[in-house]
Amino acid sequence: MNYKKLISLTLTIATLTTINTIIPQIKTQANQPQNKPTTTQTKASDWYYQGIIKANQKDYQGAINDFTKAIQMNPQYAAAYHQRGLIYANYARGKILRSDGTLPGCVRVDDYSVSCEVKVTANWKQQNQQQAIKDFNRVIKISPRYAAAYRQRGLIQENRGDKLKDVQVAADIYHSQALRYLDRENYLQAARLLEKVDKLYLEMNPEAGIIERPTGSPGALSDYKKSPYQLMREGTQALDKADLQTALRKYRLAARKLKYGTKKDRRKYRDLQGIIGKLEGKKR
């Protein structure tokens, strides 16, 4: 398949998750029908892009079939495993249904009722959950630094300890990637990655997102009254605008609160010190 004209697709299954998944931009000829690739010219990437298109069109079973064909042609195709795993994961959560609003194996009786065998509903979540984890495990084996796979596996894990472990690994990978972008003075990309880190931090520490406003203080809080999470978010927003001075001020205060305040977090404190060190080096 020869892709020439750039079109952007927003993969529906990716929007169902809290952390955005990077979906490739797909190139195709303007007058080329979107049919399956012919056997004489088929490549694994062709099936992969067809799967992306079908998922965008909500043909999820067709997308699974295409991702599977891409994997059969290239068993090391991490992105294909990841996209297929996303569909299985969302099936397990009940977020993807057939066009009539039912699970596979169920029959719509009328506008108000659906008939399902007990074994269908009992096994549906477990089967798809296991398949999703299997696909994400494969992604991680092929590409151990594939942060999104850890994130998605964490979402689908039943055990809270396993869930938090995967989320922390994803956050660590995004953090290290952000530091490399700071070295290159690519503050926009660094901020994008740190924003993901901030969201993952909030997932692991939900109480960090609570804004404590003193009674009778409806106005804006001073930085000294803000939580470390609020300051980290504002620091990342300043970094996104390449405002290093403001970013440094916010990160330094957040770090002090994490080290000496009521909400101590040594691990996050060390992470912030890494960011602060990179930014201080840029200001010299």
Residues 72 and 27 in one domain: yes
Structural domain contains residue 237: yes
Interval 94-133: pLDDT, tens: 766 555 555 555 666 666 565 555 555 557 788 899 999 9
Residues 202 and 283 in one domain: yes
Q: Stretch 167-180: mean pLDDT, rounded?
A: 96
Confidence (pLDDT) at 117: 55
Confidence (pLDDT) at 92: 84
Residues 134 and 199 in one domain: no
Residues 148 and 26 in one domain: yes
Residues 41 and 86 in one domain: yes
Q: Report d(CA 79, CA 20) in Å as an integer.
A: 15
14 pLDDT higher than 90 = no
The chain-wide mean pLDDT, for the chain, equals 79
Residues 200 and 147 in one domain: no
Q: Stretch 67-79: mean pLDDT, rounded?
A: 97
Residues 128 and 229 in one domain: no
Question: Does residue 116 or residue 56 have the better pLDDT?
Answer: 56
Q: Stretch 41-66: mean pLDDT, rounded?
A: 92
Number of domains in the chain: 2
Q: Report d(CA 153, CA 168) in Å as an integer.
A: 12
Q: Report d(CA 118, CA 104) in Å as an integer.
A: 13
Confidence (pLDDT) at 9: 35
Residues 197 and 131 in one domain: no
Q: Stretch 181-196: mean pLDDT, rounded?
A: 96
Question: Does residue 46 or residue 219 have the better pLDDT?
Answer: 46
Q: Report d(CA 14, CA 256) in Å as an integer.
A: 36
* Cβ-based neighbours of 180, under 8 Å, separated by 6 or more: none
Confidence (pLDDT) at 110: 64
Residues 30 and 132 in one domain: yes
278 pLDDT higher than 80 = yes
Q: Report d(CA 44, CA 75) in Å as an integer.
A: 9
Structural domain contains residue 175: no
Question: Does residue 280 or residue 32 have the better pLDDT?
Answer: 280
Residues 26 and 149 in one domain: yes
Structural domain contains residue 200: yes
Residues 143 and 40 in one domain: yes
We report the CATH number of the domain holding residue 30 as 1.25.40.10
Structural domain contains residue 111: no
**Residue 22 pLDDT class (50, 70, 90 cuts):** very low
Structural domain contains residue 12: yes
Element (H, E) at 7: strand 5-7
Structural domain contains residue 243: yes
In the chain, what is the straight-line distance between the N-terminal and C-terminal CA atoms, in Å? 51
Q: What's the predicted TM-score (pTM) here?
A: 0.74
Structural domain including 254 reads 191-210+224-284
271 pLDDT higher than 70 = yes
Using alpha carbons, list the distances in angstroms from residue 111 to 94, 100, 140, 156.
19, 10, 43, 31
Residues 279 and 149 in one domain: no
Q: Stretch 210-219: mean pLDDT, rounded?
A: 52
Interval 228-267: pLDDT, tens: 999 999 999 999 999 999 999 999 999 999 998 877 889 9
Structural domain contains residue 83: yes
| Cα–Cα nearest to 17, from 71, 67, 68, 92 | 92
Structural domain contains residue 169: no
Which percentage of the chain shows pLDDT scores above 90? 55
